[in-house]
Structure 1
Amino acid sequence: MVMSKRMRVAAIDTSTDMLAVCVAELDGAGAAAPAVRVLASGDHLCRRHANVELIGSLDAALAAAGLSLGDIDAVLVGRGPGSFTGVRIGISTAKGLARGAMVPLAGVSTLDATAWRAWCAGARGLVAVAADAMRGEVYPALYRIEDAGVTRLFEREQVVKAADAAAAWAARPDAEELQLTGDGLVRYGKLFHEAGLMEHALERDLWWPTGEGIVRAAAAAGGPAALGDGDPALVLPIYTRLSDAEENERKRLGLAESPSAQATGVADELAGRHLQYRPLGAADAEAAAALEAACFAGAAHTPWTAAQFLEELSPAAAVPRSWWVAHDDGDLIGIAGGMIVDCDVQILDVAVAPARRRAGIARRLLAHVSYDAQMLGCTTASLEVEAGNEPARRLYAALGFTEAGVRRNYYGPGADAVVMTAPLPLVLPVDAASPEPTAAVRRAWPQPAPARTPDEQAELARRRPVLAIESSCDETAVAIIDAEGRLLANKVSTQIDFHARFGGVVPEIASRKHVEVIVGVVDEALEEAATTLGLTGGALAPAELAAVGVTQGPGLVGALVVGVAFAKGLAYGAAKPLITVNHLEGHLFANLLAQPDLKPPFIFTLVSGGHTMLVHVRAWGDYEVLGETLDDAVGEAFDKVAKALGLGYPGGPVISRLAEEGDPQAIAFPRAMMHSHDYRFSLSGLKTAVVTYIEQETAAGRTIHLPDLAASFEAAVFDVQFKKAWDALKQTGAREYCLGGGVAANPHLRQMLVDKLGRRGVRVTLPPRDACTDNAAMIAEVARRKFAEGDFSDFSVDADPNMTL
């Protein structure tokens, strides 16, 4: 990060109920401890309204300082620990601000900021911060505060029970010197009072961090440059607790209890599970050994046997292991694994089928293994590789490994092993195929504004590109569209592989992943758009956009919050209008990507993982919802049936592939509400019928023919969809019909609707299959039209998880 001796910074923090905002000037920014001059503050208590008030509060502080964001040299943000949602709002907004204004971003601990507030108020001596972590817990931190500044007396942030923190502090020999502060005292003050610690507590209004505290914590570290290279992609929250799902994953890894080694191999009829990644199971041992033999035939490395792989899964293993496999079309095509020893994951084996190399499979396998290792507290990785295996050595070097030594004759006479080590996380690309934790490629920051020729500037003014962000569930997507509807970029970073290990989307994990990858996906879209436009001066700059669009809802609130907060920061930072989009309307507009002349009135069916809905589109923006599901959505039913069959997540593609070879009339599953004479749907009964059938057949010792079951299940779902759609077309008189949502990619549903409705004189429009699942292209199409109409949103807008058409 390049810094001048004097720099202006904007600092924000939303980790607690205090919305902290400060505009300040650092004098002597290159010094060990720059002098701080506060220009304006906007701190105020703001419980659960941070996303609504943050940009407005920053704007007011800048105005009070007589500045605009364009006058700011860097953005500072509190990284927590604190409220999970609050931390994400602050960091996501800060990432957007920095990326939009193209200035550096640095993060500091909110606990440090709280201690510096105490320093500003004149507190000196031993200060204990107890920040609220809810669940009966606090984030405890001890500091020595002197005239010269604040000194940490702990190594890293942690979370403990409030009662335990109170007991530990009360037992200290210097307990009488402790001065307590922190917002945890609001909720747990009684516990600390009973421990005899509240006598020297600081005044209540000092219990929260402030914007000035954020600035002074950064200045004490030597200014923003000392806190990182300024790249917004690299600033992440401070988490002290795993999600509940990841805690269960720790159990799978053997921390709390022995992992299960149940047979989870893939049968031939499960070929639809295209290139997925999952933990190694006992049933994979033979296939893994065969892959080893194929990969290392004639090599110095002795291939692993099936027995050795089984030993790795043994509950009696002395240290935790992590093993992952990649499979495609029923075949195991890749494997990687390691064991954890003293905070180091020792990579034991990496093998990819020769015909499938150079496709990033080894990288993604190692991403899963290294992530597991980090969850187990590892900070480094190590491995041995044959000295003569140049391709493997190049791969590992690209992942961040460096050569640490050589073991002579390790693989036999004349066959040396090169020892390589790397810090975690590994250097893994942030792209549509790699959603795992990454160490982003280092780059100079801030990035210079691109140089454009007059012709390029005129072309950008004519094309008026609009960037759109979609983060409603488990995919971080960014698209850029021009004024005429031409897609300039379309990027998606999916988390499906990660959630697959839990059998479905875990909201907390989805939100964390969005925070990790959103800057990288935006950067990729900006680069792709510049290439599409033929620009020669580098990636598209945020200031060259016409507007920023984002999904406001419906969806997972934690996921939506990240996208909305980032989009608001990006739009404000780039001085561009903000456009919010209804996700459901996005699925409707996806049809325009296939049929630009589609015009209302028409009937629209939305079939996705979270929604099943029949809509009469009377005009663009004028929607009458005729009926919705009473329980499970169609996509949800597919996932639950697939889970009952042990087919993994997501269930739709697997069942669709199986159904291709099945008889849709083989099993008489119920058609729920087929003749209800309304437009409501119900799928829970059908799901129960399928599960009951599986249990009965299994109990009777009969083999279930999966293709027949899948085809019969699909038929039961789709027959009802057709019947309701045809009834709605007849009632309204509409002669056009279209489809949307993830299940709209199902080839059998698409063909059935085209055939049956086409024979009845109805024109059927279907969105491109790659635009059926959550994507930003459909959000961009809505945002483009709203931009043309001047339909902009205020920066006080918030995510709306329950948004309807």
Structure 2
Amino acid sequence: MLCLGIESSCDETSAAIVDSKRNILSHIIYSQIPEHQKYGGVVPELAARAHILAIDQVVQQTLEKAGKTINDIDVIAATAGPGLIGGVLIGWLAATGMAQATGKPLVAVNHLEGHALVPRLHAAAANGGDGATSVEFPYLLMLASGGHCQILLVRGVGQYELIGQTLDDSAGEAFDKVSKMLGLGYPGGPIVDKRAQLGNATAFHFPRPLCDKPGCDFSFSGIKTAARTFLERATAPYSDEFINDFCASFQAAVVDCIINRLENAMRDARVIAAAPKTLVVAGGVAKNSAIRAAMERLAAAHGIVFAAPPMNLCTDNGAMIAWAGIENYRLGRVVHSPIAPRPRWPLTEL
């Protein structure tokens, strides 16, 4: 079975062809980062226009790279939400048009489920290299991106139980904001991670919100506010040593919060009853080296396996949508009548 997957929920126009044996035949990503960098973040209107200009070429290149035509495709899948609705509409309408023209079955994929299931397509070692492991249900998932931060018990396709979530900012948003405060650029996560590896993680004392509280919910706004307060008291321009130490200290606080909440999640009665054998991280923040390493240590301490997508499948991509399309198609979850894409679509509403 071949599935053509299309992703357009934010600032990447991407398409991929994946087969039911977990092979990625082709994968094209057109990134809009250069268009948004000067604004320090994604501008929704610009993103939608860029998707319009790129979508046809991205799909055509994906088919050509795989040596296929649309007639060779068995299933078409596309993100139907959540995300920036202008971008979501572009990808969804393109997929709908192809499905109607060819009579191919169409699958509406929840973008977050794409992230949640992609470790079942390809899972890598904590350092992002080889060392793949098979991820079977159930598993405990840390889903962290620029817009979301959740701990989920994944029981199966479409079966997600929310264990904890952020009460304010996402981890990815906090990384981007701190990078912007320091004048490091966008996207901030990879830049902060790289600078943190050169710094002293104890140079600045950041708060660890909620870490002294029961439960599994996160709060990152206090860490972000502390960063702003520190910088308001400092004298710009900041030295490289200052920036490296600041990034290392900030990142250590975020990692501590994530691990603390995951520790609590592992003691949650629902998680204990499900007895997951794998701890998974997914989403754009899953590229962070410190988070991956800390979660790998946590998994080992609890006698379970750690898994994460390869680095190129952490951020938004068409391959994860194609694989989620295959997983849902196997269960008969196809579109039979017109649906409206959704800017908000919690996993718990699948």
- What is the TM-score when the length of structure 1 is the normalising length? 0.40
**CA–CA separation in structure 2 for the residues paired with 1:618 and 1:784:** 17
Deviations 1:355-389 (A, max 9, x none): xxxxxxxxxxxxxxxxxxxxxxxxxxxxxxxxxxx
Letter in 1 for 2:117: F
Compare the two structures and name the one with the higher strand fraction: 1
Q: After superposition, where does 1:145-544 map in structure 2 within 5 Å?
A: 464-530=1-67, 540-544=68-72
Give how far 1:738 is off.
Answer: 0.3
Query: Which residue of the partner structure matches residue 605 of structure 1?
Result: 142
Aligned to 1:562, the other structure's residue is in SS state helix
Q: Where does the alignment leave 5 or more consecutive residues of structure 2 unmatched?
A: 124-131
**CA–CA separation in structure 2 for the residues paired with 1:747 and 1:685:** 23
**CA–CA separation in structure 1 for the residues paired with 2:15 and 2:238:** 48
**1 or 2 for the larger relative contact order (CA 8 Å, sep ≥6)?**
2
Deviating 4+ runs (over 4 angstroms): 701-704
Matched, 1:555 2:83: yes
Q: Contact 1:504 / 1:650 at 8 angstroms: preserved in 2?
A: yes
Give how far 1:479 is off.
Answer: 0.6
Matched, 1:582 2:110: yes
Give how far 1:596 is off.
Answer: 6.1
Letter in 2 for 1:726: E
Q: Contact 1:564 / 1:798 at 8 angstroms: preserved in 2?
A: no
Q: Contact 2:12 / 2:316 at 8 angstroms: preserved in 1?
A: yes
Query: Which residue of the partner structure matches residue 785 of structure 1?
Result: 327
Query: Which residue of the partner structure matches residue 263 of structure 2?
Result: 726
Aligned to 1:639, the other structure's residue is in SS state helix
Give how far 1:598 is off.
Answer: 1.3
**CA–CA separation in structure 1 for the residues paired with 2:337 and 2:24:** 26
Q: Against the structure 1 CA distance between its residues 634 and 702, is the aligned structure 2 distance closer, same or farther, given a 3 Å change threshold?
A: closer
Query: Which residue of the partner structure matches residue 750 of structure 1?
Result: 292
Give how far 1:753 is off.
Answer: 1.2
Query: Which residue of the partner structure matches residue 665 of structure 1?
Result: 202
Compare the two structures and name the one with the higher helix fraction: 2
Give how far 1:631 is off.
Answer: 1.4
Letter in 1 for 2:235: T
Q: Contact 1:586 / 1:778 at 8 angstroms: preserved in 2?
A: yes
Q: Contact 1:605 / 1:615 at 8 angstroms: preserved in 2?
A: yes
Q: Against the structure 1 CA distance between its residues 574 and 779, is the aligned structure 2 distance closer, same or farther, given a 3 Å change threshold?
A: same
Deviations 1:534-564 (A, max 9, x none): xxxxxx2212210110011111011101111
How many residues were matched structurally?
A: 332
**CA–CA separation in structure 2 for the residues paired with 1:560 and 1:514:** 9
Letter in 2 for 1:802: R
Query: Which residue of the partner structure matches residue 311 of structure 2?
Result: 769
Aligned to 2:234, the other structure's residue is in SS state helix
Aligned to 1:698, the other structure's residue is in SS state coil
Give how far 1:632 is off.
Answer: 1.1
Query: Which residue of the partner structure matches residue 127 of structure 1?
Result: none
**CA–CA separation in structure 1 for the residues paired with 2:159 and 2:75:** 24
Q: Contact 1:548 / 1:576 at 8 angstroms: preserved in 2?
A: yes
**CA–CA separation in structure 1 for the residues paired with 2:16 and 2:81:** 17
**CA–CA separation in structure 2 for the residues paired with 1:565 and 1:500:** 27
Deviations 1:377-415 (A, max 9, x none): xxxxxxxxxxxxxxxxxxxxxxxxxxxxxxxxxxxxxxx
Q: Contact 1:551 / 1:581 at 8 angstroms: preserved in 2?
A: yes
**CA–CA separation in structure 2 for the residues paired with 1:482 and 1:488:** 7
**CA–CA separation in structure 2 for the residues paired with 1:788 and 1:624:** 21
Letter in 2 for 1:786: N
Superposed CA RMSD: 1.5
Deviations 1:574-613 (A, max 9, x none): 1111111111111111111115631222210111000001
Tell me which structure has the larger Cα radius of gyration: 1
Identity of aligned residues (%): 40
**CA–CA separation in structure 2 for the residues paired with 1:675 and 1:624:** 24
Letter in 2 for 1:573: A
Q: Contact 2:204 / 2:249 at 8 angstroms: preserved in 1?
A: yes
Q: Contact 1:639 / 1:651 at 8 angstroms: preserved in 2?
A: yes
